A and B are shown apart, each in its own frame.
Chain A
Amino acid sequence: MFKGFEVSSNEQAFTLETLKSGIRFDGRKLEEMRDIDIRLGDEYGYVEVRLGNTKAIVRISAQLAVPFEDRPYEGIFQISTEISPMAGPMFEAGRQSIDEVLISRLVEKAVRRSGALDLESLCIIAGSRCWAVRADVHFLDYDGNFIDATCLAVMVGLSHFKKPDIAINGEEIVLFSTDQRDPVPLSVLHIPLCVTFAFYNPNDVEENIKGSSSGELILVDPTMKEEAQSLGSMTLTLNKNREICQISKAGGLPIDAPVIMDCCSIAYSIVERLTEKIKQLLKDDEAKRIDINVQRALSAANDR
């Protein structure tokens, strides 16, 4: 992933030193997330997320489609996570690197496989008509940890999105525009959120494998520089119901099992806080929209 991004030995050594003294370049604590800034667009399902300097935009859209043959009672949900060189010149246009595959698989597992979106509710007429919801993730700027940002943006997008209301008239489906009928939200069953950890080993490899010191350093939400210097990472996906939706520690530095349990509780407290934040944000947005509608109605009345 970091092709062309050179990290000197001096920086490597320095980073280990700073981590050992418990500080990070941006002043965070080791188990602290960067500030998250979420902006909702005027359009339903348009979300801009900034995680420090990592930026992503998610657009949710829905279309009528034919369900898959082997799943006639379910709608379709697709997440597209293609990374263009806009996020940084290390990403190649039109070719998915293995890291990109892993990012998209992870988001897929975190959101789709964990059943965050109720697919059965997207079915309109079994076997012939359903909603196809897609989430297009646009990666704008990469400064580490795309996964957490993406998962968050997709979940906020799904919770914010509203699809046009429909009526079934025999075999006919009538689609109402937003003026005719209020659009309806998707049925989001739970909000899984990812927390990524990066691992460092200040000791020798032998100590890590055979030693008993468990001296590995762990930090939350690595920046790109931190990611490039880490020896491994782990992404935990949880929701606020204390359910783990996904764990992904695909190789990398071996870590003691009890340490991983500790990571779980760190992640849970982060997820709890984030979920609250998202809920508040969506509530505020809803209130704002109602306000605007009321004003519009009032001004319309005045015009008359």
Chain B
Amino acid sequence: MSGTLIIPGDTIELGTESGETSIGPGITTNPKDQSIVYPSTAGLLKSISKRNKTIAYIEHNTKRYIPTIHDYVVGVVITVFGDGYRVSLANYSQPVVLSALGFPNATKKNRPHLKVGDVVYAIVSLVDRDVEVEIECIDPVTGKEGGFGQLNGGTLFDVKLAYARYLLFNSNAEILEAIVNKCQFEIAIGSNGKIWINTENVKTTVAAMNAIVESQQWKKEEIVKNVNKIFKDVL
């Protein structure tokens, strides 16, 4: 993992070259003076450049999810009320709101009926300091379902957030490839660290789940060997 270690109190050099630099997670501005920029967490300073624009952020791995707009998340319905649902994205965190209309083609009359305990795959649609976070099950690009909605069967488990992001954006991550060789599976990865998985049977699901959780502590070259072992033990 490259990048320089930054801890709070360090001064960070934001790209002074051409183009603007915007700040990403882990870097904060002073609420009283927006020109003062400082790192608020310990991690590795990184920057990505896209068309003249540089985004600087501090890569850090946490357990506690803080909702960010357009994040893909896996949540559990915890209350049902008149116009929608309250969904938990992380244990002990403030629940977020999923409107009953936040589904493709949903109308006042025709809308899905979720129950407490149901699992949904959704996208964060509203984040604001002063109001509750909202999620919806509509693909913002197509306006269609796009894989969002209720997840049936399978089971849920948690990984650390940086790992979840890594798996979400690298669909050919070694660990997933290694599991593909063992069994067929469906997976929904949330940026909130919750992963839903369903495979052909209970045993392979347990194995796949354990493999993903434990692979957070594996080096790349160990993956195949360890996955083989886990599947052998369970089956």
Contact = CB atoms under 8 A, between A and B. Distances in A.
B78 A21 contact: no
- Is chain B's interface secondary structure helix, strand, loop, or mixed overall? mixed
A6 interface: yes
B73 interface: no
B52 interface: no
Contacts of B112: none
Contacts of A90: 92
A5 B92 contact: yes
A14 B155 contact: yes
A8 B119 contact: yes
A17 to B, nearest CB: 5
Contact of A14 (B117, B118, B202): B202
B117 A23 contact: no
Contacts of B196: 10
Contact of A27 (B91, B117, B153, B234): B234
Contacts of B88: 6
B233 interface: yes
Contacts of A17: 202
Contact of A10 (B91, B155, B209, B234): B155
A90 B233 CA distance: 34
Contacts of A8: 76, 117-119, 156
A10 B154 contact: yes
A10 B151 contact: yes
Nearest to A19: B202
- Is chain A's interface secondary structure helix, strand, loop, or mixed overall? loop
Given A25-B206, A25-B209, A6 B91 contact: yes
B202 A10 contact: no
A18 B202 contact: yes
Contacts of A11: 155-156
Contact of B76 (A6, A13, A27, A89): A6
Contacts of A7: 76, 117
Nearest to A24: B206
Contact of A9 (B115, B203, B234): B115
A12 interface: yes
Interface in A49-99: 89-90
A300 B156 CA distance: 61
A12 B209 contact: no
Given A25-B209, A25-B210, A4 B118 contact: no
B205 interface: yes
Contacts of A21: 202-203
- The winner among A10, A11, A12 for most chain B CB atoms within 10 A is A10
Contacts of B78: 6
Contacts of A89: 91-92
Contacts of B151: 10
B107 interface: no
- The winner among B78, B115, B202, B234 for most chain A CB atoms within 10 A is B202
Interface in A9-38: 9-15, 17-18, 21, 23, 25, 27
A22 to B, nearest CB: 10
B156 A10 contact: yes
Interface in B131-182: 151-156
Contacts of A12: 117
Contacts of A13: 153
A13 B202 CA distance: 11
Contacts of B152: 10
B76 to A, nearest CB: 4
B91 A14 contact: no
Contacts of B116: 9
Interface in B179-201: 196
Contacts of B202: 14, 17-18, 21, 23
- The winner among A5, A14, A27, A90 for most chain B CB atoms within 10 A is A14
A120 B80 CA distance: 58
A21 B235 CA distance: 11
Given A10-B152, A10-B196, A14-B154, A5 B118 contact: no
A5 B91 contact: yes
21 contacts: A4-B91, A5-B91, A6-B78, A6-B88, A6-B91, A7-B76, A7-B117, A9-B115, A10-B117, A11-B155, A11-B156, A13-B153, A14-B153, A17-B202, A18-B206, A21-B202, A23-B203, A25-B209, A27-B233, A89-B91, A89-B92
Per CB-CB distance, the 6 closest pairs between chain A and chain B, nearest first, are A9-B117, A14-B155, A4-B92, A89-B92, A8-B76, A6-B88
Interface of B: 76, 78, 88, 91-92, 115-119, 151-156, 196, 202-203, 205-206, 209-210, 233-234
Interface of A: 4-15, 17-18, 21, 23, 25, 27, 89-90
Given A8-B118, A27-B234, 8 more contacts: A4-B91, A9-B117, A9-B119, A10-B196, A11-B156, A12-B117, A18-B206, A25-B210
